Each structure stands twice: as C-alpha cells, then as structure tokens.
Amino acid sequence: MSDLLRLTLVRHAEAEAAPFGTEDRVRALTQRGRHEAHAMSRRLRARHTPPDKLLSSPAERAWMTAVIFGRELGVAPADIERDERLYLASAARLLEVIRSAGASARHLMVFGHNPGICELADGLGDRGVPGMPTCAVYTLEFAAPGWHELEWASGMHGELDWPRQE
C-alpha cells in the first residue's frame, strides 16, 4: 500500500438551467449530466481504488453527481458527507475543507463547482489545469503525512479526465 495521499476533485455534471425565481442550489442534473456521471465514475473505478471519504457541496447538482459516483464506487449515499462550506467555494476555502478532512482517509474525493474546483486543481497540481468542464475528474497524489499538511503546488502525478476528452 502506498503512503501517498490521493485526492480526486470532481466538478458536478451538467445541470439544468435555473428557471426564473428558482434557487440555484436546487438545479438538477440533465439527462446528459446523469449519463456522463455514470460513465466518468466507471472510468475512475477502472483506474483507481475507491475513495475512503466523499465530500459534496449540498447543491442538488453536486450531490446527485456524488451519489452516482458513490454507487459506482461502492459508497452508499448515507456515507457521503454534504459540506455547506463546499457550495460555490473558492480554491482557498476548498483547501481549508480538505485540510480538515481527518486522518483516516487516504483517498479523498470532493465534489464541487467552478471556478473554485478548477482553481484548486490548477494550484495544487504538478501541471497546469486549463479548465474543468462539467463532470471533469482530476486525481493527484501527495507525499504529505496527512491532509492537514497539504500545501499549494505539492501534488504529483496529476491526471485530468472529462467526458468528451479526445
């Protein structure tokens, strides 16, 4: 078993436009979004061991993306943590949440929103991340002893994947 920490960042899948007067948080996934979340979770499962812990923004689109990934990766919805701090969070705020993830998880998966999730991926990794389209998945590893010691630009072996990647 590797001593490295593994972080997987996921931008929520494609969501419906918010009808006038509807709160942004309740936007559901489109049919395409659901399909892409299933496909991306299968691709992730084929490449990596399942995560120990899943954290999601409480927004419906992020939560449903997390539930779809969780089912494919063997994690029950009841075991996915909704974290209010992840809703439309900045990169700095996302890093704070990750640093507070606790010592038990060696592979942490976080579901969030742009621009924060892309800015975090770009700032943590060993290569630039030009963008994260909907349902993009970015996985990287860290030689840190625990999440509390995670630093900017300390990620290694960055791997970016997205639904229509050529």
Report the distance separating Cα 112 and Cα 116, nearest Å: 8
Q: How high is the mean pLDDT in each 10-residue block of the chain (166 residues)?
A: 87 93 93 98 94 97 98 94 98 98 92 98 91 96 95 95 83
Q: Which CATH class is domain 5-16+25-161?
A: alpha beta
Report the distance separating Cα 74 and Cα 47, nearest Å: 15
Q: What is the pLDDT of residue 5?
A: 96
Residue type, 127: R
For the chain, the domains span: 5-16+25-161
Residue 154 tokens, joined: 């300390």
Q: What is the pLDDT of residue 1?
A: 44
Report the distance separating Cα 26 and Cα 53, nearest Å: 24
Residue type, 6: R
Q: What is the pLDDT of residue 19?
A: 81
Q: What is the pLDDT of residue 2?
A: 62
